[in-house]
Homo-oligomer: A and B are copies of this chain.
Amino acid sequence: MKLGEGVEQAIHSTLLLAGLDRDGVLPATALAEFHGVSASYLLKHLQALTNAGILASVPGPKGGYRLARAPAAISLLDIVLALEGSAPAFRCAEIRKQGPNPLDSQFFARPCAVNVAMLRAEQSYRAELRKVSLADLRTDPATPLGAAIEARGCAFLEQRQRRSTSTP
């Protein structure tokens, strides 16, 4: 089981965007530069986040991305599902229907016990991710790590954020 590496890029991008001023946006190229990743690859993920209503995209030469809602209202689950899709990790193909002597069709009205157990585990995974918001992930700026993260983000945003009055 493997999540795409875009998940890490997406989470850290949204965390950086959480530091924008109210009227600020940040272009995809700046987000890619900050994280040292490919802009074209990141753009795909930013579009997925926009399609999922996590980011808002302001078009035009002064445009860019901002969060579409408050950091406390964006969970890790929202971001993972936006990038990876909402289909369960375990896809039951009902192989009990296959082979020379399949089970009678009457038994497929209810899901297979294997599928039920696999989905229950994934529900537990998703419930944990749902509990953690971008606001929770902000490190306390009173700690040395938190201060360093904030200083790094602020210095970058100071230089690169654009001011936009357009409604996304």
Contacts and interface: CB of A to CB of B under 8 A. Distances in A.
Interface of A: 1-3, 5, 7-9, 11-12, 15, 33-37, 76, 80, 84, 87, 89-93, 95-96, 98-104, 107, 110, 113-114, 117-118, 120-122, 124-129, 132, 136-137, 139, 144-145, 148-149, 152, 155-156
A149 B9 contact: no
B35 A98 contact: yes
Contacts of A129: 117-118, 121
A9 B117 CA distance: 15
Contacts of A156: 101
| Top 6 A-B residue pairs of the complex, sorted by shortest distance between their CB atoms | A36-B98, A121-B128, A125-B125, A36-B99, A1-B89, A117-B132
22 contacts: A1-B1, A1-B3, A1-B80, A2-B84, A2-B91, A7-B118, A8-B91, A8-B92, A9-B95, A12-B96, A35-B98, A36-B102, A103-B149, A107-B145, A107-B148, A110-B145, A117-B129, A118-B129, A121-B125, A121-B126, A122-B125, A124-B127
Contacts of A128: 117, 120-121, 124
B137 A117 contact: yes
Contacts of A107: 144-145, 148
Contacts of A139: 113
A76 B113 contact: no
Contacts of A87: 2
Contacts of A7: 90, 118
A16 B33 CA distance: 53
A84 B117 CA distance: 17
